[in-house]
Structure 1
Amino acid sequence: MKGVRGVRAVRTRGGLSLRLDVRALLACLLLLALALAAAIALIGSGDYPMTPAEVLSTLTGGGNPGQEFIVQDLRLPRVLVGLLAGAAFGISGAVFQAVSRNPLGSPDVLGFAQGSSVGALVVIVYFQGGTVAVAAGSVVGGVATGVAIFLLAWKRGIQGYRFVLVGIGASAMLYALVLYLLTKANIVEATRATIWMNGSLNGRDWDQVGPLAAVCAALLPLLLLHGRPLRMLEMGDDAAYALGVRVDRVRVVTLLAAVLLVASATAATGPIAFVALTAPQLARRLTRSPGPNLLPAALMGAVLLVAADWSAQRLFGADQLPVGVLTGVLGGGYLLWLLARERRVGRM
């Protein structure tokens, strides 16, 4: 067993050689522990506070009927949606940034949230659809936006800044369409649409957990299996081709999976800003490892979203501030810092 900068090479008896990044592994374990701690804290928050011991006892079947109702029916679905959606946003942001080779290549910046909002608003304004229909419209809008941006940005491959610029243009157009749809809505529909667009975990139940869990169970492993090709892709198409990566196939598969994850998470929570932008970069700074760091990014996204929801409740009272508002304020500051940093190092 040899170590170089925190990387261990492990050779098994059968001759199989494995690379183990110890720092990245420890970072994943730390983020997993933080996600579980934040989840327990969020379950214990609300009008009926519970200690961590009471939460754990109730989750393992030791609570009284009142506690079981509060945890199992009211708070646990909210936390699970937060964890799953945060993981979906985090890993999707890592994929977009790896494919575009640009730290600004995030679904937040590229218009996917606006595309999902347009799909949801069309269902609300013109069809008065219920929760399931609105979620379906959000998914369709997000996927259609992803396909359109990919096709418009394609020119013998994906170049990072062209991809970002096309996405920013699409975001502006879609936001204008959102405003137009709001003017066509009556007061009830406009209020409902505005609440959805704020992005929130309030009122989430098992109806949102099941579909989002199924999508994550199918697509998260698929993306994790493409971690090495994405790492090669960050070095450029020519280098990736030379290393045996099927560049176009990897790009299409990973982007499609990432778009579906973002659209599904947005359908469950509404658009929640900047988790997809910040989670991959914070994860990379924590692991100090090259490549997209897909698993750390997913865990970081889960931590950020659940911790932000807990903070919104603690600072402003239960259900007073949607989590999307808090992440938007904090993420906007991070985006300004990132833009200043990109300009300082000469990439803008």
Structure 2
Amino acid sequence: MRRLIALLLLVLFLAAGAGGAFWYAREQWTAPGPLAEPVQMVVPRGGTAAIAEALAERGIIAQPLPFLAATWLTRAEGPLRAAEFQFPARASLRDVLHVLRDARPVQRRLTIPEGLTVQQITRLLEAAEGLVGDIPAFAEGEVLPETYAYQWGDNRAAVVRRAKQAMDQALVEIWAARAQNLPFETPREALILASIVERETGQREERALVAGVFINRLRRGMMLQSDPTAAYAAADGGVLDRPLTRADLDADHPFNTYRIRGLPPAPIASPGRAALRAVVQPEATDYIYFVADGTGGHAFGRTLAEHNRNVARWREIERSRANPR
């Protein structure tokens, strides 16, 4: 490499003349580069020559040789890093070397939405561009839905570990602020109920009210009768891709809250912070029933008769949608 640089410098001196070599080199150092628009690039490992070739192929620099010379002449400023970087348009050799030595690598983001199952989160991790490595086993509800920053080449196991730590911390903080006299005694039980609330409603303003309904049922010893638990059971821990049937509701399964009293043995999804807060600080209500209202929310009832009227309205909405005029 040093011989190559020395030869290059000799060529520069010969081309520009001994008296003008300094100004020629300065022009090469500060002249705008060929890159028309900003671009992200994963800078490869393998040494300076490999980096120079990759930069030239992406059009970030015009030719490898001036870049190699500039790198060698400024070697005291530090080594070049292999990572994903953002290069500005018209970046000069000075700009490019500053990025490679001092800029922060591109921060990618992976968002885990609320209410996903282990299977769904696993597929997200598998599809995340730039992540590498195997995905460690993790349990339902064990990771916190959130947006996680990572860099190209980061390990999937590290992201899972961070998401698990985030859930542990969220549970500790939220459990500490719980209301008194809840019908469950552990953060684990709160997590299980929060996963049900998360799957029951996508309306933020409804979470605490839905939680209040389930709290009332638990206090009365009633079955929760939550459709998402029956769907989770019918899909064997996945996402059911068809409507629930009467057979699903009647199925003898530990997660089917139409057949068991109390909470299922584990979460059915990963709840977010809002659902966790809802179950430890539920809305005070005398509702014990709810059913979809056709708007994305729910109609709530205090008595079985009121609930049956709400159900009848919902069935009519379903029929109208199935047979539009």
TM value normalised by structure 1:
0.21
> If each structure's helix is expressed as a fraction of its own residues, which one has the higher value?
1
| Higher Cα Rg, which structure | 2
